[in-house]
Each structure stands twice: as C-alpha cells, then as structure tokens.
Structure 1
Amino acid sequence: MTRLIGLYALFILLFAGRTASGQHKYWLDQNSLATLSVTLPEPDRCSQWINACTYTLTEDQRSAVTAAGGILTPMLTFAPAALAHKDPILSFALEQIQANYFLKMGLTGKGVKIGIIDGGFLRADRDPTLSHLFEKGLVKSYKDYITPEMEPYGGAIGLDDNHGTEVWQLIGGYDKEKNILYGLAQEAEYYLARTDHGAYEKRIEEDLLILALEDMERQGIRLVNVSLGYNLGYSDASENYRPSQMDGKSTAIARAVEIAATQKGMLIVVAAGNEARDAWQTLSTPGDAQHALTVGASKFDIWDKMDYSSIGPDYTDFVKPDISVYSTLGTSYSTPIVTGLVACIWQMDSTLTNLEIIDILKQAGNFYPYPNNYLGYGVPTCPNIIKIMNGETIKRPQKVKTSKESYKLTRDFDTKYLVAFHKKDERNVMARVVYRPMGNKVKIKRITGARQTSLLIGTEVIEIFWE
C-alpha cells in the first residue's frame, strides 16, 4: 500500500483558558455601573487606571448587564489542564462520521484489544500524537516479523518506514497541542506487528501476515487493522496476481482472513486498495475476503467515491467494499478510522459478534439497503449506529420506480453536482455519471442495460428502479 511521510508536527499545550462551566470572566466599565439596575456579585479585582472591575458572571447575569446597557469585555483565564473541559477538534474523517456522538457517550475503545498488522512503526514511540498510549501502558506488544533483530520503532529509513505509525495515529491518535482528535480508540490496548517491508514486495510478506494473525488470535485479540493489500508490483513478476483471483478464496491471505472471521470470531478491517485509476482497477487481497470488513475511500461533502479507491469485483456473489470513509491519501487511512469506530462499538456492547458489528456498520451506511461495488453500503455515521443498536428507525434512500427512460427531479439543490451510479444489477456499477442541475431541475437518463440507478445528492440517496 502507499506509504507517506509523517503528517503531524507537535508541541505540548500547557495552559488554555476558561473558568468553570457556565461562568465566564468579564471587565465591566465602572462609569456605567451607577446606571445599572442589576445585582452583581463582588468584583474579583478592580483597576483604578482603567476604571473597570472584573466579574465572574453566569450567562443570565451577563444577559441582564448587557440588556441594561452595561459595557462588558470578555476575558480568558489561565486554567491548568483545560483540555479536560474542552471538546477536541475532530479530524475531517471523524467529523464526517459524526464521532462527537460517541465522544459524548464517553466511548474511547477502553478495554478492547486492537492488533495492527502493517509496515513500519518508525519513531512511533517518539510521536506526540501517540504518547498518551505509551504513558498509560496501552502498548502491549511489538513484534517485527521482517527483521526481528532491529530495535523497535527505531530502524533506519529505507529498512523501515512509518506507514504503520500513521495508520496507528488514525486509530487512537490525539494532538495535544492543537487539541485535535485523529482516532476514536484513545484507551484501547495495542498489539503491533510489522510484516510488510517498505523497500520491496514479496509473497513472504503474505505468509508473515498470516502468522501475525494467528499469533494475535492466540493473544485474545478480536479486532485487527490491516491497511495492506497485494495484487501487482512484486519484485518477482511471477508472483503477481490476476484480477480474477480477487474472489475471496484464491489467495492464501484471503482464506486466512476468512477463517479468522468465520471460525475465530475476529473482525479484520482491511483497506480496499488504491488502484481504481490503474489498469488493475479492482481491489487488493485480503480485502477480497467475503467476511473481512473492507473499507473504501469517500469524498467529504458529497459522499462520492474517491477516484483512486479500488472497485469491487462484479463476479462475486457479495459486494465489496463493505463501507467507505473519507480519505484523500489512500484507503490505508480510511481503514483505521473504522477500526477505532469498531472498538467503540465493542466497548458499548461486548456481546456483539464480529459479523453483527459488520452488519450494523452496513445498515448505518447512507446507501443501505442498496449497495454498490464503488462505495459498498456507503458512509456509516455514529448517530445511525446508535439508533440501529437501540432498535430505532433511520432515514433510508427514497425508492422510485419508473417505466420511462429518464427520471426528472425538481428541488432546491445545495450541491454543485449529483452522481448517478448506473447498475447492471442490484449492486454492480456499469457507469458513474455526474449531473449538474439546471436551476432547480435535473434529468437522469437511463443508460442501456441499467436495471437500477443510485442517485447520490450530497449524502442522500434516491434508488431508481427502471421498469
């Protein structure tokens, strides 16, 4: 999979400002005090030079003073560890899935064991966004299957890389300086395995991935992130796969992931791949395993497929990818967002099976129950997940049947374009077509051979059945 340079440069934020919840500090000009008919608390302190005092006021007191004509100037105070009172800024991917709903419930993946099988974890122990995990003793093991003699986290660039470090950041990373949360599983336990060499591609890496999976299962790990994929580009071209082999059963690693999911109860979250713009186009293995949770990449405002995100095969009786989440850098970085999400779901209800969680995530997607091999069931959101787990109904795509060769839609559009996924059957896309509304109207034309069309309007889906 694609490996990128480090994303985050960091410092430690020592102080930030605000007082106790519901109260804030203000300067009040004393020249206006005599004309106010409101009761104020005793001032905190006063200045003769500027003829003003500071007051700690509730919101009701502030409103009364301003309504009476008082001149208030807000001020910030210094409070140690103010982050404890301050909601974190969410990364774009977490914002898309509305992760704040999980944060308000106190979900952090606590008590869940997460395995990460990846390339290098170079300098992870010195990465400020992961420091809280080391400080709390949440890093339980590190095993290098490639060069076991090499110092953990400290291999030379070229022999090691930081792909695994970046993936880890998006599972449970937190930027203290900027108060930015990158991953939901801040209190999960982590087990790291390096099985992929950044300088070459050989089939032995797949053997090592299987070995790491088996080792993790023996350690009681149920949730594993695999932001790796294999298809072409092997150092020995004779090891390259054919697209027809991405069927969930032809490769050893796909079979191993299938055993992990169906016999061992493990939830393996796998990147779909980044080859949609290449001649290969289809997803990589082991993302082709039927019961892996395979993740594609979506755009942010309009939940369309990222151009690079690999397409699922049209020759299987199941759909891939399963779901999609925002990433501009590759499906390697959509996948860990979902792994953190799963950790929180398992924290909420540890009795759920791996396959039940996968089904919940599918149901929480915006395309459900009309998946396609571009985006799967779409983007799941935390509010939808909560409603599904509580047995509540959620908004589903509008279903439209027409015997005409076109479908006309009239409404006020708040998106610049619409995307039609014309399908030859219930899930396999024949063509993706972009439509731009003319004023408040758009006309979707049926293409030859299309049986259904999923029309994406921002995040909303209309499913058109051509009769």
Structure 2
Amino acid sequence: MKIFNILIVCFITIQLSAQIAPDIFYVQFTDKANSPYSLNNPEAFLSQRAIERRQKQQIQYEENDLPVNPAYLQGVAQTGATLLFPTKWLNGVTVNLTDPSILNQINSLPYVVSVRQLSNHSQGKIYKVKDYFANEYIQRELPQLKLNPRSGSYDYGNGYIQINQINGIPLHEAGFRGQGMVIAVIDAGFVDADTHIAFDSLRNEGRLLGVKDFVHPGGNVYTESSHGTSVLSTMAANVSGQLIGTAPKASYYLLRSEYVYYEQLVEEFNWASAAEYADSLGVDVINSSLGYIDFDYPQWTHSYEDMDGQTCPATKAANVAASKGILVVNSAGNSGSSNTFPYMGAPADGEGVFSIGAVTSSGTRASFSSIGPTSDGRIKPDVMAMGQQTALANGNNNFTYGSGTSFSSPVIAGMSACLWQSRPTFTSFEIREAIRMSADKAANPDNFYGYGIPDYTFAGSLLASIDIGQQQEKLLVRITPNPFVQVDKVELLTFEKINVSILDVKGSKVRSLSGLLPSHPDLLRQTLNNLKAGFYVLELRTESAKQVLKIVKTLQ
C-alpha cells in the first residue's frame, strides 16, 4: 500500500515554456483584500458547530478564517484553468491545467504571487520511492487474546488490550464513549466502510455524518484503499465480542486526501483542504494516519531541516487547525528503523499536532516507530499507543490485526474524544497537555517514547481536580497569555497579600511565594517564566479568598 510519503517545502518552479499533461498546480494569492466576507459574520463561512467550538475555547476569528477571495478564484477560472480546491489557510487554490499558455495568463494576474507544480503525469515514469509506512502490515488471521476481553458492560473482543493499555476502560464504564463528539478521519480510502458489520451501529444511528473526496472531486471514498477503514475501526467499531473501538459512540466524517498509486506534492495541499473542511464542519478531533517525507520525484522530497514544525504545507495547515480548537492527532510514521531518516514526517512535526508513536502490547517501542526530535529541537513523538498487532477491521467483514503508527494514532484520537466528552469545559490544548502529563514518562520525556504511554483515567483525574478548584475560585490573578512560552503580563486583582503555590501534575509543590504584595506582580511573572514546560496548578490564597488556576507552559 503506497500512501503517506512527505513533501518537499521547496516546491518545483514552473517552467512556463514546457509542455504539460493534465497536471495539478498551486496558485498562491497575495492577500484577501476586498473580500465579500467579514469576520463579523462568521456564519457565512463556518457552521454553527464550528462557531460554538471557537466560542467555548475563547478563540478569536482571524484573517485566515476568511475564504479565498471569490473574485480571485473567478479570475483564475477565466484563464481556462479548472479549479479544484481553494485553501483559505494557505490563501491559494489548486487547479488542473492542460494548456501551457494558461500558466502565463495566471502569473500575469495582479493578485497572484506564484504558480507551483504539485503533480507530474507527463513524463510517464514514476520513480520508486521509500514508502513512509513501509513497515505497516495487516495480518489475515485473528490473534489470540492475551487478556480477558470482557469489562463491565462491554465485551471488547480483540480491542481490549489496546484500550486497557492506556487505561481507557474506566472512561467507557463511566458512560463516556464519544457521544456528541465529532471526529474527522483524513485518509486514503475507506473500502467496505459503507457495508462492514463493524460500523453497523455507526450507520444505523446516523453517526456517519458525511464523506468527501479531495483526490477525485465528487468521487467515491469507498474505493481504492481499505487503509482508512482499518484506521476508522480502531475508533468506531462496535461489535461485541469481536472489536470495540476507543470511541464507539462518536460521530464521524470520512475525508480522502491521499492518492493510492503515487506520491506527489499535491497530497499535502489535499490534506490542508480536508482539514479546512473539517474545521468548517465543527469537528472536535482530526485523526490523520498520513505523513509526508519522500515523493515520486526527488525535487519535492523533504529534508530533516524541513521538519521544524512550520515549513511543510501540511504542517502549516495542521498547526492552523489546532489553533482553531481542534485536537489534531497524527501518526508519527514508520521510519524508525531507517539508518538515514528515522524521524517523523509532516504534519507530525507540528507544534500543535499530537504525534503518536507505536508500542507493543507489553509497552516496548515498536522498532519501526519514527522518532524525534524535530529539527528545531522539540520532543517527538508526543505519546505512544499500541501499534503492533493492533486489533482492527479489514475488508469483507473481516476482523484482524495490523501493525503501524497508522493504528496507534486513532487509538489515541478516539480515547481523547471520550476524555474531552467527560471534561467539555477544557480546551483542546488542555486536553492534550493532560494526556501528556498522565503518561508514564512525563517526568523524563525522550525522542523515542515522547511522554510515554498515557493513562486516560489519570488524565481525567487531573482535569477533574482543576475543575473543582475553578468552581470555588474568586478571581485574584489574571495571567497573559495562558498557555505561554513566556508570561507577558500578570495582574494581581486584590489589595491583600497573597500566598502562592505552584503544583505539578502529581500534586507536588514545585514553587511557592509567601505574602506576595499586590504591587509586585513581576515577582510572580518571573517565577512562572522560570518553570519547565508542563501542566501546572496555581493556587492563590488571601485571608478572604482563594483561586485555583490551571496554567500550561509550552516549549515554544
């Protein structure tokens, strides 16, 4: 299966004099000036659910929320180019061209910065590339259960081990199985997902909310590849005694962005368009078991330097998606055994992306699981889940198991949706940080395991303790920003002296200030800025009041 190979940031420059076959190009626009859309009227371009997600997380509208200027799109279309998918976050559009003279016309438009080639079918020759997930495989026989698959009201079948490993069963038993949460699955195809018995309840209960093909516009996503079907099953399967996924009661959108038969730059832009679409629908979680490093043509291939969290097109889009309040979960990749490039690919390198590596059922890192750090020194992956002999569904109503970070990622995505369902007042960033801080290597993260294997019951307890504190609080301090790399401003909103305690996720006191005067907010600001990156609880007490505040310090 030939999917998930990354793109080069240095896009190929168009040779205007060259003859071209029906190939895809990206048109970059200058701005969004004179747009008929307004940030004061988001209902014109976002669903009510997308608006509510932003409101809940206090996310402001930005220019990148505005659609691409329709006048610019019309101008490009009038040259004879076939419009494919606009991307408002990157401010451009992918187009199909067959006539070389059209390139000159597009480049001459005053609002066009550049035109770049994203696919090449004219040479007739495809280079053999290293598959980003070359170590991925799906077994045909069912594995033997190693643990009792029954827990409470659920008979998990072969799904028990992977859910129990991250201590997710108590969440399900408490009734949090994804109800009301919406997950978008961006993948290569969903063969048999429309008929497989694993998804009977998903279809019958109306929780399969929609599908869209960003590879073949208007096409059928239930063709070409069953990879997305297997990925979906680790979350959505709901067959007692066979397979229960991590979010069996969530709702889903199925989005295809990946070409099965070749690896070309256009796939990163397809990914961006799919993520934008998911945002506009108001999804809570994106699972992407895709990644980009190598392409069929070497001039597009990414370097390690590109893995800096801000260069690759898919990474840029993933970071924007995260900034809109979506929990973006992505496979770390299967390059860990490589002697030349064992690192994660895009968009797993993104600062806002929850990157997931793979472990065995015993908790040992799978040898193929891609590693960090990013080229700018950040720890990756974020956390680990079972990605070797993961229980899943395959085509033709089969249940089996497979290996690859493609399958550890949705294990985390689905369970994270359940955790968020249980604590809906928290932001996507806070949910991610609680999961990281619950993991078994949180005290000493590294670039092989990241923060380790999370404990979702513990993550829920962390969030619950903060919730209780917030219910009792009186506002004594305002910290800007939060989350923060460095605190810019601390406002002390009392005339009394304040006793301050800073607790880590284990409840241990890491810093304290006694008798802090309201006239000395910079002392608290400096104390916060000297913390290591992590998730903390800030307790403030005066003689008449107290406040408990969650704070998060990030690496960058």
**Do the two structures share a fold, i.e. TM-score over 0.5?**
yes
Q: Residue 237 of structure 1 aligns with which residue?
A: 298
Shift of the 235–316 alpha-carbon distance from structure 1 to 2, 3 Å rule, reads same
Aligned-partner Cα distance in 1 for 2:197–2:313: 37
Q: Residue 257 of structure 2 aligns with which residue?
A: 195
Shift of the 86–292 alpha-carbon distance from structure 1 to 2, 3 Å rule, reads closer
- Structure 1 segments unaligned to the other structure (5+ residues): 10-81, 398-425, 428-467
Q: Among residues 343, 349, 370, which one is paired with 2:417 in the alignment? A: 343
Q: Residue 151 of structure 1 aligns with which residue?
A: 220
Aligned-partner Cα distance in 2 for 1:187–1:85: 14
- Once the two structures are TM-superposed, the CA of residue 245 in structure 1 deviates from its matched residue by 1.0
Residue 273 of structure 1 aligns to a residue whose secondary structure is coil
Whether contact under 8 Å (2:384, 2:449) holds in the other structure is yes
Q: Among residues 341, 348, 368, which one is paired with 1:287 in the alignment? A: 348
Query: Aligned letter for 2:283?
Result: I
- Once the two structures are TM-superposed, the CA of residue 249 in structure 1 deviates from its matched residue by 1.1
Shift of the 212–130 alpha-carbon distance from structure 1 to 2, 3 Å rule, reads same
1:320 and 2:320 aligned: no
- Once the two structures are TM-superposed, the CA of residue 85 in structure 1 deviates from its matched residue by 5.3
Q: Which deviations, in whole Å up to 9, do the C-alpha atoms of 1:440-467 show, x marking residues without a partner?
A: xxxxxxxxxxxxxxxxxxxxxxxxxxxx
Q: Among residues 177, 187, 193, which one is paired with 1:108 in the alignment? A: 177
Q: Residue 198 of structure 2 aligns with which residue?
A: 129
Shift of the 4–396 alpha-carbon distance from structure 1 to 2, 3 Å rule, reads farther
Query: Aligned letter for 1:387?
Result: S
Query: Aligned letter for 1:113?
Result: V
Query: Aligned letter for 2:462?
Result: I
Shift of the 102–214 alpha-carbon distance from structure 1 to 2, 3 Å rule, reads same
1:248 and 2:309 aligned: yes
Aligned-partner Cα distance in 1 for 2:318–2:151: 40
Aligned-partner Cα distance in 1 for 2:419–2:465: 15
Q: Residue 439 of structure 2 aligns with which residue?
A: 365
- Once the two structures are TM-superposed, the CA of residue 386 in structure 1 deviates from its matched residue by 2.5
Residue 406 of structure 2 aligns to a residue whose secondary structure is coil
Q: Among residues 256, 261, 267, which one is paired with 2:322 in the alignment? A: 261
Shift of the 84–138 alpha-carbon distance from structure 1 to 2, 3 Å rule, reads farther
Q: Residue 115 of structure 2 aligns with which residue?
A: none
Q: Among residues 162, 171, 183, which one is paired with 1:93 in the alignment? A: 162
Aligned-partner Cα distance in 1 for 2:270–2:374: 29
Residue 125 of structure 1 aligns to a residue whose secondary structure is coil
1:172 and 2:236 aligned: yes
Q: Which deviations, in whole Å up to 9, do the C-alpha atoms of 1:150-196 show, x marking residues without a partner?
A: 3341x3xxxx10111100001121234x3432x22111111111000
Aligned-partner Cα distance in 1 for 2:182–2:319: 20
- Once the two structures are TM-superposed, the CA of residue 83 in structure 1 deviates from its matched residue by 11
Aligned-partner Cα distance in 1 for 2:151–2:333: 37
Q: Residue 184 of structure 1 aligns with which residue?
A: 246
Q: Which deviations, in whole Å up to 9, do the C-alpha atoms of 1:38-69 show, x marking residues without a partner?
A: xxxxxxxxxxxxxxxxxxxxxxxxxxxxxxxx
Aligned-partner Cα distance in 1 for 2:303–2:264: 16
Aligned-partner Cα distance in 2 for 1:115–1:331: 18
Aligned-partner Cα distance in 1 for 2:154–2:327: 33
- Once the two structures are TM-superposed, the CA of residue 224 in structure 1 deviates from its matched residue by 0.4
Q: Which deviations, in whole Å up to 9, do the C-alpha atoms of 1:10-50 show, x marking residues without a partner?
A: xxxxxxxxxxxxxxxxxxxxxxxxxxxxxxxxxxxxxxxxx
Q: Which deviations, in whole Å up to 9, do the C-alpha atoms of 1:240-297 show, x marking residues without a partner?
A: 11112111011111111111112x1111001101101112111110000011101011
1:163 and 2:227 aligned: yes
Shift of the 85–115 alpha-carbon distance from structure 1 to 2, 3 Å rule, reads closer
Whether contact under 8 Å (1:227, 1:333) holds in the other structure is yes
Q: Residue 384 of structure 1 aligns with which residue?
A: 458
Aligned-partner Cα distance in 2 for 1:381–1:339: 14
Aligned-partner Cα distance in 1 for 2:441–2:424: 27
Aligned-partner Cα distance in 2 for 1:396–1:195: 43
1:273 and 2:333 aligned: yes
Q: Residue 59 of structure 1 aligns with which residue?
A: none
Q: Residue 60 of structure 2 aligns with which residue?
A: none
Residue 390 of structure 1 aligns to a residue whose secondary structure is helix
Which of the pair has the greater relative contact order for Cα pairs under 8 Å at 6+ separation? 2
- Once the two structures are TM-superposed, the CA of residue 146 in structure 1 deviates from its matched residue by 1.1
- Once the two structures are TM-superposed, the CA of residue 347 in structure 1 deviates from its matched residue by 0.9
- Once the two structures are TM-superposed, the CA of residue 222 in structure 1 deviates from its matched residue by 2.5
Aligned-partner Cα distance in 1 for 2:172–2:275: 30
Give the paired residue count: 317
Whether contact under 8 Å (1:227, 1:331) holds in the other structure is yes
Instruction: Give the TM-score taking structure 2 as reference length.
Output: 0.54
Aligned-partner Cα distance in 1 for 2:286–2:168: 20
Aligned-partner Cα distance in 1 for 2:279–2:359: 31
- Once the two structures are TM-superposed, the CA of residue 315 in structure 1 deviates from its matched residue by 3.9
Residue 111 of structure 1 aligns to a residue whose secondary structure is coil
Shift of the 351–133 alpha-carbon distance from structure 1 to 2, 3 Å rule, reads same
Query: Aligned letter for 1:88?
Result: Y
Whether contact under 8 Å (1:384, 1:394) holds in the other structure is no
- Once the two structures are TM-superposed, the CA of residue 91 in structure 1 deviates from its matched residue by 3.3
- Once the two structures are TM-superposed, the CA of residue 129 in structure 1 deviates from its matched residue by 1.0
Residue 185 of structure 2 aligns to a residue whose secondary structure is strand
What percent of counterpart residues are identical?
28
Aligned-partner Cα distance in 2 for 1:227–1:315: 21
Q: Which has the larger radius of gyration?
A: 1
1:306 and 2:366 aligned: yes
Query: Aligned letter for 1:363?
Result: M
Q: Residue 288 of structure 2 aligns with which residue?
A: 226
Q: Which deviations, in whole Å up to 9, do the C-alpha atoms of 1:289-325 show, x marking residues without a partner?
A: 0111010112222x33211111112642421111111
Query: Aligned letter for 1:308?
Result: F
- Once the two structures are TM-superposed, the CA of residue 86 in structure 1 deviates from its matched residue by 5.3
- Structure 2 segments unaligned to the other structure (5+ residues): 5-132, 143-149, 389-402, 467-503, 509-531, 534-556
Aligned-partner Cα distance in 1 for 2:308–2:441: 23
Query: Aligned letter for 2:230?
Result: E
Aligned-partner Cα distance in 2 for 1:314–1:286: 11
1:388-467, aligned counterparts within 5 Å? 388-391=462-465
